[in-house]
């Protein structure tokens, strides 16, 4: 039997590289398509690499013809909220126009299964509620708006061309491959856990707590964290859903509960047995008090249940990766 190929856009990035590892374990051949603007060549370890930009239709057509993938798994995107607020045009161009080019190339090649990495940022500022698939979407910046637009495009191409899509919405992804073959590394780094580990390791002076006067038990905001390996396993289940002919579907991925920033810091202190230098700063504009994402539909329909998404395991895996070396070396 010929090995089934999956085209993974952004496969040199944090989540995409972990998805490639799980895809290979599941019997697929992951082909990474990445322009290496934010991804890392050293993260491509589990299948072929094709360098290219999503805006380059000719290059995409070459790759689709070469590999004849059974599906696309689309992670490539700009994803910094502050950058999106300051430069919305970049996000509409890099996320929406590039995704349109990718979708059109996929449809033209006859590749009609599409797994899309979306975000709960499409919901906007809906504080203190468990967000699910039926929650109204009201994005408040170009990042969330661009992701919602791509969701709409997938729906439209489903109606016009028979494109089947599974869309995943999620918030905070954490942790790393337990075997430390790949992990989380951004430049600049904006995510809480790697920033905290940098502070523990002396690579930055301290971790800044952005607001300590929120109406939560310890004054810091609460977020839902999902282990990256749990997350990418859901994406493989979504791919299998499509290959089984079950049609288009939207799923939220979360634990339904959350941890405060101070809880994350306390757990990191326990896991690493090291002090965590912190400084207190003002709130950031737009930061909600509590954001959690339910996943009852994913559990019921996909059979997905996060098994690694505890703070000790996410931080321990991230710390192991942090100590093992980064792509920049």
- pLDDT tens-digit profile of 129-159? 889 999 999 988 888 899 999 999 999 999 9
Helix axes 228-243, 14-25, angle to 10 degrees: 60
Q: Is 192-223+256-323 a domain of CATH 3.90.25.10?
A: yes
Is 253 in contact with 234 (CB distance < 8 Å)?
A: yes
Residue 247: count other Cβ atoms within 10 Å of its Cβ: 11
Instruction: Answer with the residue of higher pLDDT: 25 or 81.
Output: 25
Please work out, in degrees rounded to the nearest 5, the angle formed at the alpha carbon of residue 220 by the alpha carbons of 228 and 297. Answer: 40
CA distance linking residue 131 with residue 144, whole number of Å: 14
User: Phi and psi dihedrals of 316, rounded to 5?
Assistant: -60, -45
Instruction: Answer with the residue of higher pLDDT: 92 or 164.
Output: 164
**What's the mean pLDDT when you consider all of the chain?**
92
pLDDT score of 284 = 78
Instruction: Answer with the residue of higher pLDDT: 289 or 229.
Output: 229
Is 96 in contact with 149 (CB distance < 8 Å)?
A: yes
CA distance linking residue 170 with residue 35, whole number of Å: 24
Let me know if 143 is a catalytic residue: yes
CA distance linking residue 192 with residue 176, whole number of Å: 14
CA distance linking residue 45 with residue 65, whole number of Å: 22
Its sign, for the CA torsion 149, 153, 158, 163, is negative
Please work out, in degrees rounded to the nearest 5, the angle formed at the alpha carbon of residue 118 by the alpha carbons of 51 and 282. Answer: 105
The pLDDT-based confidence of 57 (bands split at 50, 70, 90) is very high
CA distance linking residue 17 with residue 232, whole number of Å: 9
The pLDDT-based confidence of 294 (bands split at 50, 70, 90) is confident
Task: Choose the catalytic residue: 14, 67, 143, 170.
Answer: 143
Greatest Cα pair distance in the chain: 59
CA distance linking residue 310 with residue 244, whole number of Å: 31
Q: Rounded mean pLDDT of 177-196?
A: 85
Q: Is 5-174+224-253 a domain of CATH 3.40.50.720?
A: yes
- pLDDT above 80 (res 117): yes
CA distance linking residue 301 with residue 303, whole number of Å: 6
Domain boundaries, the chain: 5-174+224-253, 192-223+256-323
């Amino acid at each position: 039997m010929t090995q089934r190929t999956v085209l993974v856009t952004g496969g040199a990035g944090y989540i995409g590289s972990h998805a490639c590892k799980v895809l290979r374990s599941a019997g697929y051949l992951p082909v990474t398509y990445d322009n290496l603007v934010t991804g890392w060549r050293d993260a491509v370890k589990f299948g072929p690499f094709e360098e290219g930009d999503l805006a380059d239709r000719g290059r995409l057509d070459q790759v689709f013809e070469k590999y004849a993938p059974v599906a696309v798994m689309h992670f490539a995107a700009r994803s910094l909220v502050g950058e999106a607020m300051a430069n919305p045009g970049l996000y509409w161009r890099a996320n929406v126009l590039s995704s349109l080019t990718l979708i059109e190339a996929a449809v033209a090649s006859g590749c009609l299964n599409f797994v899309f990495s979306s975000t709960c940022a499409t919901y906007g500022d809906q504080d203190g509620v468990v967000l699910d698939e039926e929650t109204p979407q009201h994005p408040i910046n170009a990042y969330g708006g661009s992701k919602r637009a791509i969701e709409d495009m997938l729906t439209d191409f489903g109606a016009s061309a028979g494109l089947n899509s599974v869309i995943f919405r999620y918030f905070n992804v954490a942790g790393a491959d337990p075997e430390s073959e790949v992990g989380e590394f951004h430049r600049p780094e904006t995510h809480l856990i790697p920033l905290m580990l940098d502070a523990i390791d002396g690579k930055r002076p301290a971790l800044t707590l952005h607001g300590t006067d929120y109406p939560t038990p310890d004054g810091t905001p609460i977020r839902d964290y999902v282990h990256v390996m749990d997350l990418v396993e859901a994406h493989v289940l979504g791919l299998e859903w499509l290959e089984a002919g079950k049609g288009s579907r939207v799923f939220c991925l979360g634990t339904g509960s959350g941890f405060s920033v101070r809880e994350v810091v306390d757990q990191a202190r326990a896991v690493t047995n090291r002090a965590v230098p912190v400084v207190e700063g003002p709130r950031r504009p737009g930061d909600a008090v509590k954001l959690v994402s339910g996943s009852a539909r994913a559990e019921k329909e996909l059979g997905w249940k996060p098994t690694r998404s505890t703070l000790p395991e996410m931080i321990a895996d991230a710390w192991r990766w942090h100590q093992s070396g980064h792509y920049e070396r």
